Amino acid sequence: MAVAEFTLARAPASDRRNPVRYILSHVGRHVWLVVIALIGAFGNAALAAVVPIMIGRAFDLVLSGRADLPALAQLAAVIIVSQTVRGVLQLGRNFGAELIGQRLERDIRGELYVSLLGKSMTFHNLQPVGDTMARATNDVREINLMFNPGLNLVIGSGNFLLMPLLIAPSIHPVLLLTPFLFLIAYAFSLWHYLRELRPVTEAERSAFGRMNTRLAETIDGIEVVKGAATEREETAQFEGDARQFREAFVRRGRVEARFLPLLLLGLATGAAFLQSILLFNQGQIEVGDVVAYVGLISLFGFPTFVSLFAYSQVSLGMASAARILELINRQTELDQNVGGHAGPVRGKIEFRRVGFAHPGATTGLQDLSFRLEPGQTVAIVGQTGSGKTTLAKLVNRTYDVAAGQVLVDGIDVRRWDLASLRAQISMIEQDVFLFSRTISENIAFGRPGAVRAEIEAAAKAAQAHEFILAFQDGYDTMVGERGVTLSGGQRQRLALARAFLTDPRILILDDSTSSIDSATEDEIQQAIFRAAQGRTTLIITHRLSQIRWADQILVLRQGRLAAAGSHDELMRTAPAYRRIFERYGDEEG
């Protein structure tokens, strides 16, 4: 049983053993819609068959010589009424399937979301957001489309295949032969066609993908192309890609051109006609029967043409269901550890021979030990990929160590109650995420009850007050998708304000990818400096000034501690470190 960090009491259970069971367990909640859709599908096909039968009757009626107009009108009326009823039933089928699809989209997306909320930070840090997004939007939508138009048309047209089989014997038993043979040949040729088409379509799609990706890259890097004067080489490259797509496109065209069910439909029409006129010549059936039977066979037209599209829609939907289920079922290693150690953190952090390796994580760590007293600041320095971020994330259990121990206040973080631990650790990531809410709501995100005065005080401490007031709506300014766009430095200061408000004992700050925003540089550095006062702070940084005032500096290289100590110690013991400052020293004066 998977452990989750978040669960919803009222969520109904679904069967997650495999995609088919999963979909069925969801559909099971809408039995009435299924019944309506199925009745609609059968009724629609059955009533569609009424038309050729009535036309046949009309022929027989007129031929019989004792016809009168009222009798003919009666037949016409039957057609009108049956087709109106058919419309209602077809609407039931369409809308029933549509509702099932929409409800499943809603329910499954909700279930997926709850499951995502329940997953550990480890999961979310390893799982690319783009991929999760794709599953929460596109894949969930595919399941919807699998019902309508997918299954709606598969079942709808399936009933059309059935009707000639059911009705033909009532005209003459022998007439069962043509629809029967057609069905067998149809099923076989369609299976063959789909099997042939799949690799060709796949090849076309990937050829298009290659062409498009490379093209987008070239156009984005056009300055480099022009600077290097490689227009001719790029043109040759693109032409090669475009030609490959052309080949794949033509191959698909050739497979589609051979669509055998179309031939079968023509042959079935001919066979039905031959069979019925032979029976007529033998005096076994009437003219009206011939007309009705030929009309009945034309019902095969609908399944012949929609089959293609409908079947692939269903298989796409099942593939999506499998992807969603895979995400929901993926194990999450961390749990809340309710009942673990809880209490105020003082801020002492110790790493004891820590090792970490994760297949998806960027870098491993090896044999890492250091100790931070409450209130101290450590600057973590190193090249990208040296393990700085990973190290910081072990403190709030974003990841768990593979070897050794991380201790907060002398207690292994794995023995802390997760909620209690995280509530006292604030983490400001490289890419500060803001919700599409007002600035004050974003600052108060970690403390929903905070009053305006507290929020403003936090903003002032984070050097954010001034720029916030510069917006028209001040603290009520909306940010994000539907509001103002903030610069990296502004976002960072809002995150700092968040941290001031929650007043954590431990602050983890990733400052490594911020860009030089000279105009506000001084303010940001000041805000960070203030935030570090009075709490244990881990700061991942490239800024020499921050390295300079930290109590300790950890220099990481490929997951190992290359050097550690205070600035003065490193100047004495680490040549690479000294070189950096020497360079500045040379230029000084």
Using CB under 8 A, which residues numbered 93 to 112 contact other proteins? 94-95, 98-99, 101-103, 105-106, 109-110
Both tokens assigned to 47:
């009533």
381 sits near other proteins (criterion: CB under 8 A)? yes
Among 3, 34, 75, 571, the residue binding other proteins under the rule CB under 8 A is 75
**Comparison of 116 and 316: residue with beta carbon closer to other proteins:** 116
Instruction: Please report whether residue 572 would count as binding other proteins according to CB under 8 A.
Output: no
The stretch among 23-31, 158-166, 206-214, 315-323 that binds other proteins (CB under 8 A) is 206-214
According to CB under 8 A, which residues from 147 to 176 bind other proteins? 148
Piece in contact with other proteins (CB under 8 A), picked from 89-97, 179-187, 193-201, 322-330: 89-97
Angle between helices 452-461 and 488-502 (to 10 degrees): 120
Measured between its terminal Cα atoms, the distance across the chain in Å is 66
Stretch of 159-167, 182-190, 219-227, 351-359 lying at the interface with other proteins (CB under 8 A): 219-227
Tokens of 273: 């006609």
How far is residue 304's CA from residue 302's CA, in Å, rounded to a whole number?
A: 5
Q: Contacting other proteins (CB under 8 A), which of 170, 383, 487, 566?
A: 383
| 3-class secondary structure, 125 | helix
* C-beta closer to other proteins: residue 23 or 33: 33
Residue 58: exposure state from Cβ atoms within 10 A (0-12, 13-18, ≥19): buried
- Find the length of the chain: 589
Q: Which of 115, 122, 120, 118 is nearest to 6 (CA)?
A: 118
Does 273 engage in binding with other proteins (CB under 8 A)? yes
* Least distance between other proteins and beta carbon 161 (Å): 18
Shortest reach from residue 280's CB to other proteins, in Å: 6
Q: Give CA–CA dist 430/428, Å, rounded.
A: 7
Closer Cβ to other proteins, 25 or 558, answer by number: 558
367/517 with CB nearer other proteins = 517
Which window, 161-169, 171-179, 214-222, 406-414, contacts other proteins (CB under 8 A)?
214-222
| Long-range contacts of the stretch 366-370 (C-beta < 8 A, 24+) | 366/559, 366/560, 367/404, 367/560, 367/561, 368/404, 368/559, 368/560, 368/561, 369/404, 369/561, 370/552, 370/554, 370/561, 370/564
Total residues interacting with other proteins, rule: CB under 8 A: 171
SS3 call for 144:
helix
Q: Which of 361, 357, 368, 455 is nearest to 406 (CA)?
A: 368
User: Is residue 568 a contact point for other proteins (CB under 8 A)?
Assistant: no
Q: Which residues in 396-435 contact other proteins (CB under 8 A)?
A: 396, 419, 422-423, 426-427, 429, 433, 435
Stretch 433-462: interaction string toward other proteins, x if CB under 8 A: x-xx--------xx-x-----------x--
The yes or no reply on residue 26 touching other proteins (CB under 8 A) is: no
By the 8 A CB rule, do 486 and 493 touch? Answer: no
